[in-house]
Amino acid sequence: MAIPDPPCVVTSPDCPPASTPSTPGPPASTPSSPGPPASNPFFSGPPASTPFSPRPPASTPFSPGCPASTPSSSGPPASTPSSLSPPACTPSSPGPPASTPSTPGPPASMMAIPDPPCVVTSPDYCPPLGLKSLRVDDSQFQASSYLRMGLGPHRARLNIQSGIEDGDMYDGAWCAKYEDQHQWLQVDALRPTLFTGVILQGRNSIWSWDWVETYKVQLSNDSETWKTCMNGTEEAVFVGSRNEPETPYLALFPQPAVARWIRINPLTWYWNGTICLRAEVLGCPLPDPDNVWQHFSEKLSGSKDNLDFRHHNYKEMRKLMKAVNEECPRITRIYTIGKSYTGLKLYVMEISDNPGKHELGEPEFRYVAGMHGNEVVGRELVLNLMQYICREFRRGNPRIVRLVTTTRIHLLPSMNPDGYETAFEKGSELAGWALGRYSYEWVDMNHNFPDLNNIMWDAKENDTDVVKTANHYIPIPEYYTKEDAFVTPETRAVISWMQDIPFVLSANLHGGELVVTYPFDCTRDWAPQENTPTADDSFFRWLATVYASTNLVMANPDRRICHSEDFQQHNNIINGGAWHTVPGSMNDFSYMHTNCFEVTVELSCDKFPHASELPTEWENNKESLLVYMEQVHRGIKGVVRDKMTKKGIADAIVKVEDLDHDIRSAADGDYWRLLNPGEYKVTVWAEGYFPSMRRCNVGTEARPTICDFILIKTPRQRMNEILAKGGKLPQDLQLKLRPSIYMIILLWIREKIF
């Protein structure tokens, strides 16, 4: 059951008389009235003999002295995904009065919070309060008791993950110390809030199975007097997790209610476990008459950029990309690189001043998002980025104009569209931690690329002449290219894309953490964790630092860790192998099979945040996305040409002394070698040519040093080309070849004699 986002309508928390409904609408007994049906598995109502009414009639008191009002509308269908636009009463737009949907809300004088909590006209759903997204601070949690600090109330966040070892500071739930019905988890919303529901999940642990099966909800305006959520005259009992701890379960209140504090009071739990839970609370924040800074702070939240901040399914993604292309046809082009298992196309947006063509000397850049379908922040950021670049280019923003005219940019928003559609159907809060991560064939694509690391390491260990061992453009093993190889069509499509375009720099956008990882991802000797640097470790560290240091959340020294690992001690960057080994990663494959350097960016603690969080995610990452693209212009670049024909030489090998990783020139002879500032001895050679060496100085400016190379063909190569065309060898070439011919004759005579 997904969580839609209708506008939040609040007539008044002052409780209109039961006989005078604030808005017209069907009575609670009408079949079309909103709320879950009697068979709703998320709610346990009165006994079977008492028909369950989704909303009590106006004459049924929800709490003493405060009769329930009649709902104003039936609300959206349950199938509407939670990734739609946020309700009007999200933090950036307080709840409006029913009569004037576009106004900020009722005056402060109307917003006095009664005690007990008051039931008001409202939607069936409000956005998440922010337990999962960390918008709710640790200090806002309290609990009746907790088993230990690592299972404290601050760990009661939906989808929070534990470390491998239980018993540390970072376990996967709040767990009560005592097993009785007097335990509770409490959240302070910090302001009057219209609460509409709770989502519950069990404990995340590979060692224990614990979850809450049924619970009550209590509300308060002073944290001392508590009123239990009622269903008519009965205390409402809600159903929590069932049979396993990872699936989130939604429970909607029979009637929404205004309060500041909310408590979850477990009643029953898994018979072989203990009281443990992770939660999210649904609530529309309301104006607080006592907070004079509220309006100012809400104005600062969100984003000033007028972009399409919502979750886009496959069809909506295509529409947005088409709209950007129509808005900026001169600098954009949409193309596809293949299809998913179910036939969904993998769309790419190209942004360049000359779309559809590789320009000599212009580097190629790519962002890839959505490899794991449920990690959606990258998908939306890439869609926002193409909108932003288009509009800023039209406005004449010098930075964007320079980027577009000097770089060919490729944006793949969804590498795993099948997985995304699966997660999207459930919605941001109900997809859980893993639903939609894998391909339709249940493959983790970040383990699905050819493992070239061990091929290279084995070759170096077995070859006595290390100089001859390939350190780049390592070929794909034959078994991997067979039709029956266990390789997803999405992976094959991306590999072909990498081979067709001479990419220089890339980033793979993921979610679920806040860190930037760099190659190698795979460790040697299959160690589970081991720092495994590349020859370009210093530059990879620079790339990772550029993104992490400009990300507003990563750069915050006071930020909370996401789950169980504190990456701030590493400045929010880490070698992939030092985190955990990933054989067959896209980062490693890109580095070892192509010229392209690639890092992985874990963008957010929350893999699938609510749509109301997307403007903030954009602001957190906007500068990082731009400055990272600009790094494609660091180091050296140039063209390798034939001295006689002046034409570019393809596949020329560019070697930097003391760096055991070479690159190759593209089809037109141009090349790009990413390097940190310094002086480098660079040697270039190609088959049939003499090597050429020169020194190249790389400055600190964000622009490349031009280092062109002219190669001279060997006499033997010239001879072979002339003879292949049926021509005659010129006199000068014969003279150059003569010593070689004499040497061949002498060697033949020596062999015959001895």
DSSP secondary structure, 380-419, as one string:
HHHHHHHHHHHHHHHHT-HHHHHHHHH-EEEEES-S-HHH
3-class DSSP assignment, residue 509: strand
Q: What is the C-alpha separation between 230 and 253, in angstroms, rounded?
A: 8
Q: What is the C-alpha separation between 592 and 578, in angstroms, rounded?
A: 19
Q: What is the C-alpha separation between 414 and 368, in angstroms, rounded?
A: 7
Q: What is the C-alpha separation between 59 and 119, in angstroms, rounded?
A: 12
Place 459 in a pLDDT band, splitting at 50, 70 and 90.
Answer: confident
Rg (CA), the chain: 31
- Interval 130-182: pLDDT, tens: 999 999 999 999 999 999 999 999 999 999 999 877 767 889 999 999 999 99
pLDDT computed for residue 656 by the predictor:
97
3-class DSSP assignment, residue 600: strand
Annotated catalytic residue 364: no
| Structural element, H or E, at residue 678 | strand 678-685
Segment 395-403 shows an average pLDDT of 98
Tokens of 194: 């219209």
Nearest to 245 by CA among 224, 276, 215, 281: 276
Nearest to 240 by CA among 228, 250, 230: 250
Q: What is the C-alpha separation between 520 and 535, in angstroms, rounded?
A: 10
Q: What percentage of residues in the chain have a pLDDT greater than 70?
A: 78
pLDDT computed for residue 483 by the predictor:
87
- Interval 208-219: pLDDT, tens: 999 999 999 999
* pLDDT, averaged across the chain: 83
pLDDT computed for residue 250 by the predictor:
96
| Structural element, H or E, at residue 751 | helix 731-753
pLDDT computed for residue 461 by the predictor:
82
DSSP string for residues in 412-455 = ES-S-HHHHHHHHHH-TTTSTTTTT-S-TTS--GGG-S---HHH
pLDDT computed for residue 565 by the predictor:
92
* Residue listed under structure tokens 């020169």: 694
Segment 604-612 shows an average pLDDT of 96
- Interval 658-670: pLDDT, tens: 999 999 999 999 9
Among the ranges 91-100, 164-173, 210-219, 469-478, which has the highest mean pLDDT value?
210-219
Place 106 in a pLDDT band, splitting at 50, 70 and 90.
Answer: very low
CATH class as words, domain 636-713: mainly beta
Task: Confirm if 221 and 117 have CB atoms less than 8 A apart.
Answer: yes
Q: What is the C-alpha separation between 685 and 197, in angstroms, rounded?
A: 67
Segment 539-556 shows an average pLDDT of 97
Per-residue pLDDT for 267 more than 90? yes
Please, what is the angle between helix 614-630 and helix 398-406, to 10°?
60
pLDDT computed for residue 740 by the predictor:
57
Per-residue pLDDT for 194 more than 60? yes
Nearest to 630 by CA among 696, 700, 703: 703
Nearest to 733 by CA among 640, 613, 644, 622: 644
Q: Please report, for residues 359, 662, 718, the alpha-carbon distance to residue 709 in angstroms, rounded to integers and kept in the order given.
A: 18, 16, 19
- Interval 69-84: pLDDT, tens: 333 333 333 333 333 3
Q: What is the pTM of this model?
A: 0.82
Per-residue pLDDT for 229 more than 80? yes
- Interval 523-546: pLDDT, tens: 998 899 999 999 999 999 999 999
Query: Which range is least confidently modeled, 549-553, 692-696, 718-722?
Result: 718-722
3-class DSSP assignment, residue 159: coil
**What number of residues does the chain have?**
754
Q: What is the C-alpha separation between 711 and 691, in angstroms, rounded?
A: 7
Per-residue pLDDT for 315 more than 90? yes
483-488 long-range Cβ contacts below 8 angstroms, 24+ apart: 486/443, 487/448, 488/341, 488/439, 488/441, 488/443, 488/445, 488/448
Topology of the domain comprising 324-632:
Aminopeptidase (3.40.630)
Q: What is the C-alpha separation between 351 and 329, in angstroms, rounded?
A: 10
pLDDT computed for residue 113 by the predictor:
36
Cβ burial of 131 (10 Å; 0-12, 13-18, 19+) is buried
Q: Where do runs of H (alpha helix) occur along 37-194?
A: none
Q: What is the C-alpha separation between 366 and 461, in angstroms, rounded?
A: 34
DSSP string for residues in 250-282 = EEEEEEEEEEEEEEEEEEEE-TTS-SEEEEEEE
Residues 6+ apart with CB under 8 A from 675: 539, 634, 635, 636, 656, 698
pLDDT computed for residue 733 by the predictor:
63
Q: What is the C-alpha separation between 342 and 462, in angstroms, rounded?
A: 43
E strands, 541-585, are: 573-575
Residue ranges matching CATH 2.60.40.1120 in the chain: 636-713
pLDDT computed for residue 150 by the predictor:
92
Query: Which range is least confidently modeled, 162-171, 192-201, 211-220, 411-420?
Result: 162-171
Comparing 380 with 93, the larger pLDDT belongs to 380
pLDDT computed for residue 287 by the predictor:
86
Strand partners for 648: 641
Largest CA distance in the chain: 122
Q: What is the C-alpha separation between 695 and 679, in angstroms, rounded?
A: 7
Residue ranges matching CATH 3.40.630.10 in the chain: 324-632
pLDDT computed for residue 579 by the predictor:
95
| Per annotation, catalytic residue among 421, 602, 613, 617 | 602
Tokens of 195: 């609460």
Tokens of 393: 């280019």
Nearest to 288 by CA among 355, 159, 188, 145: 188
Task: Confirm if 667 and 630 have CB atoms less than 8 A apart.
Answer: no
Nearest to 696 by CA among 648, 657, 661: 657
Place 7 in a pLDDT band, splitting at 50, 70 and 90.
Answer: very low
Give Cα 498 to chain centroid, integer Å: 21
Residue ranges matching CATH 2.60.120.260 in the chain: 43-300
* Residue listed under structure tokens 């061990």: 454
- Interval 40-49: pLDDT, tens: 333 333 333 3
Query: DSSP class of residue 157?
Result: B
Q: Tell whether domain 43-300 is in CATH 2.60.120.260.
A: yes
Nearest to 628 by CA among 504, 520, 525, 723: 504
